[in-house]
Structure 1
Amino acid sequence: MRQIILNILIAIAIFNGSSAALAQELQPQQAVPKRWMLEGWETDFSKATIRYNEVVDVIDRDNIPSIDDPQFKPVAREASIPDNEPVIGLDLNGVARAYPLRIMMWHEIVNDQIGDTPIAVTYCPLCNTSIVFDRRVDGKAVEFGTSGKLRHSDLIMYDRAQQNWWQQFTGEAIAGARAGEKLKAYPSRLMSLKLFRETYPDGDILVPDPRRIEQMGRNPYVGYDKSAKPFLFRGEIPDDINPMMRVALVQSPTPVGVALPLLQQQGEVTHEDLIFRWSAGQASALDRGEISQGRDVGNIEVVRQTDSGEEPVVHEVTFAFAARAFMSDLTILQ
């Protein structure tokens, strides 16, 4: 754990949607930490769905810089990234794009646009949670940045329009004028570069931000997914499952998770109309110092069986501690 903390501090030093109905009720008005006021936030802190003592201050706002003008190239021309490295694969409006974790690790948010749809591609290393959101709020596209704060070890994003704070794990605005509203999420999946290339041979891949080119391929969280407990986590550790166990999680309409060992053993797990599938070939981004050297945790796909066939489902492959922190009554098949 000491080495993990050291690596994270090194990483910090290097850096020097359509909204829906209310997801949760607002909390009674509460005292705002003085530090947040000194940091110059313009957030309406009189509205929140969380207790402010759940928030952990880590680094300054935007010290982990979002990518706001993403550049891409055909995946067929990508020759520098090993085949087993993980990417966030997205197929939206007939356009397929890959966002390598070797880039997302150092930026966490990509403000992108596919056709007429503005999206935020997000990744939180401490939860291993990747989710793609529609970044329209009240019908207008907004940019998202990193707040430098965590809740349940998960990234708190903020929008640069009103500076509302948004929980990456749920897509919910947890503080600000939009508190309680929720961003729309689109189906995406963590997959190896090789699998993305085979599935979408005409797809594109995000190219590195020149400001962070030297960090590409490195994992600043060495050994994190094999540690005994999560970093900077203040919640209750689950006692019925390894807190750092990967879980394929579907949040709605009825939350359910499937533990990685069960998927590895069976290859396919069916729960009601959901089908969870696993195949080998993807390296863990949070294991070894070089991402491509990480152990094989495989590719997970989640689809819903319908009368017209299979449809991709919004899901994430996260750690058990995070799944339980945000959904205490979650059923995890294991």
Structure 2
Amino acid sequence: MRLTTLLLAALCATAPAADPAFWKQEWPETDFSKTSVQSWVEIMSGGPPKDGIPALSDAAFIEATVETRIEGPEPVITVALPGTRPRAYPVRYLTWHEIVNDTVGGVPVAVTFCPLCNSALVFDRRARGRVLEFGVSGKLRHSDMVMYDRQTHSWWQQALGEAIVGELTGTRLSQLPSWMESWDQFRARHPDGLVMDEPGWNRAYGRNPYRNYDSASRPFLYSGEPPPHGIPALMRVVRVGDRAWPMDRLARESRIAEAGLVIDWQPGQASALDTERIGAGRDVGSVRVRNAAGADMAHDVLFAFAFHAFWPDGQWMLGR
């Protein structure tokens, strides 16, 4: 589907007012009396209904050495928890499913990807003494995916890992270290690793339904302020906490050591939001974030507009 068609379809889907009374028909088990959202107008339909984008909870894995369908430059989300075999979650699958509920080394995790913000985050699914299973609500806030948990039907902001509507409002998930890199880079670093197998859904895996999105002039379903300092809204930035490093600076310098972090950039990863075939996307590079002791740090590589929307007082690390 071309981006223009996608935009028109979703714009039509936002016709119902941002009103919990309307949403209760679809979400009878969600407690709308509890919320941290200042204005319901911030939450919109992204087009698909609840579970219209099917999250996965039964992903299978195969040896990285036998996988032949994934092109070398394609992005994967790498999860390498201590004492476990590294796992690659290909973005070619997450583009169509957005959430994978998994368990790695006994840790229940949610591997998430919001294409509209380029936000790839991995969370520990344990909260308030229970293990949650997440689905895709079909709602967006500041163009970012709103997840929901199947236990309490609370709504969660993917970019924040925080419940924003429902019983668990204010609860935050623990983000786990992970990173996006190319399939080639994963295989070279982890020849003994595992890769998520192709799901059994009828989807055009390997195709990008958001063609040319990350070179568009404006974000999808976003009416907030543009980023400051003249930074393009759809430039990728590396976020750690409330700090953001623009990707063009990282590409120039290759390594940045500041704020107690070492951030490395290397070429070789294709954009998942450029050409129709993900593996043919332009090279946007891969980022690894570590602390001074060399330990991997939880971070995100998201679009600049999304950082500004969720961290309006955040610090821009411009290096000037």
Q: TM class by shorter-chain length? A: over 0.9
Q: Is 1:310–2:298 an aligned residue pair?
A: no
Tell me the amino acid that sits aligned with residue 44 of structure 2.
V
What 5-or-longer segments of structure 1 have no aligned partner? 12-30
> SS of the residue aligned with 2:80?
strand
Equivalent residue in structure 1 for 2:211, among 182, 206, 222: 222
Describe the SS at the equivalent of 1:35: helix
Q: Counterpart of 1:24?
A: none
User: In the alignment, which residue of structure 2 is the partner of 1:26?
Assistant: none
Tell me the secondary structure at the aligned position of residue 53 of structure 1: helix
Identity rate, percent:
43
Which one is further off, 44-53 or 169-178? 44-53
Tell me how far 1:198 sits from its aligned partner: 1.3
1:8 and 1:221 in contact (8 A); partners too: no
Hey, what's the Cα distance between the residues in 2 that align with 1:182 and 1:33? 22
Corresponding residue for 1:5?
A: 4
Cα–Cα, structure 1 residues 185 and 247, in superposed 2: closer, same or farther, change >3 Å? same
Deviation at 1:232, TM superposition (A): 0.7
Paired amino acid for 1:144 = F
> Could you tell me how far apart the structure 2 residues matched to 1:322 and 1:146 are?
19
* Partner residue in 2 for 1:320: 304
Task: Specify the SS of the correspondent of 1:69.
Answer: coil
Q: Deviations over 1:222-270 (max 9, x none)?
A: 000000110011211224211111101101xxx2111111111110112
- TM-score, normalisation: structure 2: 0.92
Match in the other structure for 1:288: 275
In structure 2, C-alpha distance between the alignment counterparts of 1:191 and 1:8, rounded to whole Å: 28
Q: Secondary structure at the match of 1:196?
A: helix
Partner of 2:315: 331
Q: Distance in 1 between matches of 2:110 and 2:35?
A: 22
Equivalent-residue separation in structure 2 for 1:330 and 1:77 (angstroms)? 43
Measure, in 2, the Cα distance between the counterparts of 1:280 and 1:198. 14
Q: How many residues align?
A: 308
Alpha-carbon distance between aligned partners in 1 of 2:195 and 2:59, rounded to the nearest angstrom: 10
Q: Given that residues 8 and 220 in structure 1 are in contact (C-alpha distance below 8 angstroms), is that contact kept between their aligned partners in structure 2?
A: no
Quick check: 190-199 or 103-112, which moved more? 190-199
Q: 1:157 aligns with which of 120, 125, 147?
A: 147
Task: Give the deviation of 1:102 after TM superposition.
Answer: 0.3
Alignment-derived partner of residue 249 in structure 1: 239
Kept in 1: contact 2:269–2:286 (CA 8 A):
yes
Deviation at 1:78, TM superposition (A): 1.0
Q: Which amino acid aligns with 2:49?
A: D
User: Which of 223, 239, 244 is residue 234 of structure 1 equivalent to?
Assistant: 223
Structure 1 residue aligned with 2:15:
none
